[in-house]
Amino acid sequence: MFDSIPQRYVLLNKILTFGQDDRWRDKLLQNIQTKSGNKILDICTGTGDLALKLAKKFPNVEIYAMDFSPNMLHEAEKRAYKKGIKGIIFIEDDCTDMDFEDNFFDSITISFGFRNLSYSKENLSKALAEIYRVLKCGGNFAILETSQPKNIFIRKVFHIYVKRIVPILGKLISGKGKPYAYLGGSIAKFFDREELEAILISKGFQREKIIPFMFGGILLCMFKKPANGA
Binding site for ligand SAM (CB under 6 A): 2, 13, 44-46, 49-50, 66-69, 72, 94-96, 111-113, 116-117
- Measured from the CB atom, is 94 or 197 closer to ligand SAM? 94
Report the 10 Å Cβ neighbour count for 56.
14
- Measured from the CB atom, is 20 or 206 closer to ligand SAM? 20
Given a contact cutoff of 8 angstroms between Cβ atoms, the answer to whether 72 and 80 are in contact is no
Residue 151 Cβ vs ligand SAM, minimum distance, rounded to whole Å: 25
* Cα 64 from Cα 140, distance rounded (Å): 15
- The type of residue at 105 is F
* Cα 51 from Cα 108, distance rounded (Å): 11
Residue 172 Cβ vs ligand SAM, minimum distance, rounded to whole Å: 19
* 154 to 23, 34, 106, 217: CA distances (angstroms): 21, 36, 37, 9
- Measured from the CB atom, is 81 or 119 closer to ligand SAM? 119
- Measured from the CB atom, is 94 or 208 closer to ligand SAM? 94
Residue 27 Cβ vs ligand SAM, minimum distance, rounded to whole Å: 13
- State which residue has the least CB distance to ligand SAM: 46
